[in-house]
Every structure is written in structure tokens, then in C-alpha cells.
Structure 1
């Protein structure tokens, strides 16, 4: 009798949902279109499992926790911000073992894990999956390196606790200076990225300057963002047509700041009417003639 091969394990965490539902379709795209092909080609010594694919007898919750505690690698899809997923991610963070975060393009990341890298992927064009597979392969190589140090909110918090126990007054002063410098760099980076989104050409520099001085951008009345993100079969042309059709219908004052193959972004005046309209658009968007996902977030 042939000896059973003892493979390392990769456990996939993410929204599963009902069969044929939007969450299941999304999860299957990620598992079958990205994750499994990467392991089949590059990491054949791994067995990849998702909770709904576990076939052995026993309580499913116990088996999930065992995988989170013991698997050599966990890949977590944080798209849809599913509470169960974040519970499972928290368990993995606590044991301080390798985990890779992934999310669908356009999804806002909760502030708790926003400082930690996450692979952003899309599934609109065939090249999107190829890019996602290449990124995932790079991340797996990194976390499986013997010199890799796990970095997540728990390790950071524990490191701070240990530092507080032993730090000298001089070391504490240095730490405070570094924290202040980090905050300043973060603020400068946010501002630079914001202006990078604008179409800065000589022909519109006067317009941008005039609008900035009148308060239409920083410090003015535009204080939240609305992004329209294409879902599945929605093409770039259809997405842009939807933006042109529905943004004026829902909002009384807005400025486009981003337009790409996968999404369209607008900065919207923070008025009671626009806040109500944003929530309405978020609820109605997937019933449009071409389904889209709406992301609403504060302006940086």
C-alpha cells in the first residue's frame, strides 16, 4: 500500500454564503481562479482547503479553529467585511503564524488592519486574475521564507507591551519621536496620493487652483468619497455610462477625481441630501441594468 503523502496545509478564510449567491460566486472566483492555480503550479507540497470543502467527520467549527491554529499558512479574503471571517482572522493573528490578506478592488479596509498589506484583486478582465496570481505567488514566497517575521496587530501590540516593560527614558523619548515622524509621513502621503488622483495638466491647473482656493477640495465642503466599482460582467464602457447617468441623478454637487477600467470615483459635497442619496445609491446599485458595487468613505 502506498504511503499517504503528508502535505503542508493552507486554509482559506472568506465569505462563503449560499450556493449560487453573490458571496459564493465571489469566493469561488478567488479560490478556483487565483488561489488553487497558484498552489498547483508553484506550491505542490500544500493542500489547500476552505471551510465548506472540509470532508472529514466532526464539528465544523472545531475543525476550522484547528486549521487556524495549526495550518502552515492562512489566506484570508476580507471582502464584504464578514464578521465570521474577522473572528477567524483574529484567532490566526493571536497564534502569530503566517497569514495573507486579500480584498476585492474598491473594498474599504477596516482601520485595525489597514496598515498591514493586503493583495487587492479584481475580476473584470482576464488579466486581472493573472495579476492577482502573480501577486499572491510573491506574497507566499515572502511569508514562507525562514527569515520572515509575522507582522499583525497582535504582534505590534505585544511588542509595544514588552517595550514598555523594559525601555529606558531615553528609549521612550526616541519611540515618541518616531511615532510623531510616522504620523507626519502618513499625513503627507495621504495628501500626495489625493493630488495624484487628479488630472494635473496645464489646461486645468487654473481650474484646480481656483477650486482649491474656494474650498471645493481640502477644508471645503467635499468631505466624502463615492466609488463605483464594476462587478463581474460589467464592462468599462458600461461602468462609465452608469456613472454619467446616475451620479447627477443622486447627487447635487460632486467632482470626478478618478476614472479607470475598474472604478469611477467622485468627491461629493457633504450635505444631508447627499448623505441620504449615498446610502440610497449603495442599496440600489446592484439592481442597475449593469450591477456595480458602491464604496462610500471619508475624504482623506
Structure 2
């Protein structure tokens, strides 16, 4: 570059992009990664694709005044904020929270191997690495796409704060029908997140007499009633069976007192069903 980053930014009129994240002391690994992200990914991307933006990081603010006040002003006023969530830096997450509360556009980024907190993880973020030059180019391409989307007119900001506010508004303004639907959704979410709700394969490990059925999805008919086949060949015990499907496997849980010879009869009957490749006992 023939100009410093500061001079490049100073010469750019128009909209503002503010970058927050861990910066670290000069010479530290944190600073090295932060500089690679800022100077190797963010600045080149905006220079090439978003020339009307002035890109600023907290340590590049040259205006006189208290840095914390200027930082908050930038969080409020910037057209776009890029948050580097690497190292789950407390200051960066505090600043991200302020921006989220404003319901203004944010692009999230993080260094590879960073464990993102659960409440932020569902939101799209750009992974980057400074280990290879090609990886910087990939991060730059992803950043270009994210910025293009975030600055579109009418872009809807979605983050943990806006979601919480939306839920609160729904709770106070929903019709009885909407509230019933919301309650059903909330119950489904509780069931999905409940550690006591077992996956099909885990349920089978808990049961005593189980069969695993492998199917050929190109031949197997989805409307096939596996329960009917099991019940017909094991009238006493098969009527109590539970059936679960995971991809190309069907798991059948039978009562623990089902005789082994009856299990064999059920397995033989299942092998005659079109599309079933094989059947194994899993107990």
C-alpha cells in the first residue's frame, strides 16, 4: 500500500463501518490476528467492493476526545458494525450487545476454533483463519456477501435481542389463536432441548428387544406400515412395538418379554418387504 490505513480511511466519504473485537497488546498473538483480519480481509474487501464506506477500528480513531465515548458513538451511528467474536472477548461482546439492542446491521466474524456462546451461535457468522492466504480470500468473499446483504434497503435485523423483543410483543398482542400456536412451538422447543428426550437410536439402547432395518430409499415405499407387519407376525407383543426412522435405517423396539423365536419370525417377515435390504437384532 502507498498510503497508511488511516489515510485511506480519511479520504473515503460516505457511510461508516466500525470494527470491534479483541485487539491486544502490540506484538501479541491477539494483535497479530486482529491486524490480519482488519488489514488483510476487511480493508481490502471494502476498498474493492464498498468504496463509499469509511472503515474504522477503535485503535485507529484519531479524533480528540474520550475513546469510550467515541466508541459508543460509533456503535450508535455507524451504518454497519463488524464484530470479531474471537476469544469471546468480554468488551467485544458488550459492544455487540449495544449494537444488537439498537437493531442495526451487524456482521459477525470469528477465528477458527473459537467456541461461540449458545445464544449467538444460531446466527450466521463468518469463520476466518490467518494460517493460509487462500483462507483470507475465502473470508473476504464471505464478508463481501454478508455486507451486500446487510446494507440492502429494508434489510431486517435478527439477533438475540430483536428475537426477545419480538417474543415479548407477541405475548402482549397475540390473539388467542396466535398464543395457542406460540405455546405449541414453545413446547416443541422445550422437548427438543430436553436432555431426557432421547434420539431414536438412544431409545433403542434403553429398550430390551430391538431390531434395526436397513432400507434402499430408491425402492422402499414410504407408505409401508412397518407396525402392521410386526403386529401381524407377533400378535401378542408386536402390537406394542415402537418404530423410529433415521435416514436409511428403521429402528423397531419390542417389549422386553418378546421371545427370541418370535423376534426371528418378525425379522424374516420384514426381509420380505419391498425395499428392505436387511434386518439385524440389536440386543
TM-score of the two chains, using structure 2 as the length reference: 0.63
Aligned residue for 2:117, secondary structure, equals coil
Superposition deviation, residue 184 in structure 1: 6.5
Q: 1:53 to 1:137 in 2, by over 3 A?
A: same
Q: 1:45 to 1:106 in 2, by over 3 A?
A: same
Counterpart in the other structure of 2:161: 154
Q: Which consecutive unaligned segments of at least 5 residues does structure 1 have?
A: 193-208, 214-300
Counterpart in the other structure of 1:25: 32
2:23 is matched with which residue: 6, 10, 16? 16
Quick one: distance in 1 between partners of 2:180 and 2:93?
A: 35
1:126 is matched with which residue: 133, 136, 141? 133
Aligned residue for 1:161, secondary structure, equals helix
2:73 is matched with which residue: 45, 66, 69? 66
CA deviation vs aligned residue, 1:123-142 (integer Å, no higher than 9, x gap) = 22221011100100000011
Counterpart in the other structure of 1:269: none
2:83 is matched with which residue: 73, 76, 80? 76
CA deviation vs aligned residue, 1:186-217 (integer Å, no higher than 9, x gap) = 89xxx99xxxxxxxxxxxxxxxx9xx97xxxx
Quick one: distance in 2 between partners of 1:81 and 1:129?
A: 21
Query: In the alignment, is the contact (CA less than 8 A) between 2:12 and 2:53 conserved in 1?
Result: no
Question: Does 2:114 match 1:107?
Answer: yes
Counterpart in the other structure of 1:51: 58
1:163 is matched with which residue: 162, 170, 173? 170
TM-score of the two chains, using structure 1 as the length reference: 0.59
Query: In the alignment, is the contact (CA less than 8 A) between 2:130 and 2:136 conserved in 1?
Result: yes
Runs (4 or more) in structure 1 with deviation over 4 Å come to: 180-187
CA deviation vs aligned residue, 1:56-81 (integer Å, no higher than 9, x gap) = 10000000000000000000000011
Quick one: distance in 2 between partners of 1:83 and 1:124?
A: 25
Quick one: distance in 2 between partners of 1:178 and 1:114?
A: 20
Counterpart in the other structure of 1:86: 93
Q: Which consecutive unaligned segments of at least 5 residues does structure 2 have?
A: 1-10, 206-283
Superposition deviation, residue 182 in structure 1: 5.2
Aligned residues: CA RMSD: 2.4
Quick one: distance in 2 between partners of 1:24 and 1:5?
A: 25
Superposition deviation, residue 155 in structure 1: 0.5
1:39 is matched with which residue: 46, 54, 74? 46
Quick one: distance in 2 between partners of 1:58 and 1:157?
A: 35
CA deviation vs aligned residue, 1:248-285 (integer Å, no higher than 9, x gap) = xxxxxxxxxxxxxxxxxxxxxxxxxxxxxxxxxxxxxx
Counterpart in the other structure of 2:151: 144
Superposition deviation, residue 30 in structure 1: 0.4
Quick one: distance in 2 between partners of 1:22 and 1:15?
A: 11
Counterpart in the other structure of 1:116: 123
Aligned residue for 2:126, secondary structure, equals strand
